[in-house]
Amino acid sequence: MTTVIAQGTFDILHPGHVHYLTDAAARGDELHVIIARRENVTHKAKPVLPDRQRRDMVAALDVVDEAHLGHPEDIFVPIEEIQPDVIVLGYDQHHDADGIRSALEARGIDCAVERASARQPNYEGELLSTGRIIERILHERVE
């Protein structure tokens, strides 16, 4: 059995998230998703939705076998517990794949690190970014 991990913030689920998780699930038999805790998100705006709500929404997707909240201090703890065969990064995630490979090797975790494919909008106006969804809400509802 091939175990796959995908990870991310997953704030306000959208078709880009579904594509990423579907792509990740297709690379193995079991998909675990690690949802970043709000306090650990430093590379972009903090999530709007609470940690548990984001985890519960991801867990509700058919392609996801298990959804976990990330560790509060060490992002590699859930990876060590799950022992995946593959970690699939989002196509546009900020993570350095080589840096992750090195950190995994240093911890004795033998798994591949791959990038998910990109998904382009299927029609004009389709939003594939939480940031763009928030911008649209602010534009449509506030102005």
**Which residues make up each annotated binding site for ATP?**
9-10, 14-17, 92
Separation of alpha carbons 138 and 135, rounded Å: 5
Number of residues that this document lists for the chain: 143
Separation of alpha carbons 64 and 108, rounded Å: 26
4 within 8 A of 25, measured Cβ to Cβ? yes
Closest CA to 36 of 71, 86, 79: 71
Give the annotated binding-site residues.
Answer: 9-10, 14-17, 92
